[in-house]
Structure 1
């Protein structure tokens, strides 16, 4: 795979470090990351999302979910003390995994459910009131009144200069 040099992006931009890091990380780890476990990201509403991971064979005690610095980490650790099996074919992986998701600003994890081999992680995007767009009202000033004020200022200046 060809590598892409993002140095010009770092050099010519200010404040987009996180975006450049995400692009760089996505392009360099694409071949390193396992496809296990498969997952879906579903949009439930304008600000609601669900990440569903297929974690067949994992119990609730073997799964761990953490959020740190805008990164959601989901990991599963299988107990090595389980008895050995003699499989003719093993299509259901029972391997330890870690899957990471970068969360956008103001996206929070609200809960998680494990049902029928699917781990559903609920997310909500809550933008603070101070960051939401505000409508600014425009006051209308009477043009005749404003015109009279300007004339008075001009007359006062001409009277001061004459004196």
Structure 2
């Protein structure tokens, strides 16, 4: 009888812990290398919506080591779900951002995929291929790979 009670309590706790990443808000930190000797860092707040879709407010920093240019951009991204299986989620990521390159106004649009791996403590590791088109900047294309971690904030 004790084993049945322990088993039921354990299954109940596991069932409440496993919520398939829906409805959570995250603080994202990502960094990586982009083509043409550029390093990129993104900080963002991600808001979980229905059906595992997400909305993201982002700050994007890019530093080109060759031309010593810095880009600062603020933007918004929408990430609809493509597929989900166990602890893995694949999203399409579409974003737009506005900012400066220390000299001029710049604007950027981006599309790509985001692959998320969820851990039992709520943290998420993700890989994000970056494909940005930046208007009114010397380097129009930012292509590369970012890796990062999402921390739950609720």
- TM-score normalised by the shorter chain: which range applies? under 0.3
**Bigger radius of gyration, 1 or 2?**
1
TM-score, normalised with respect to structure 2: 0.26
TM-score scaled by length of structure 1? 0.25
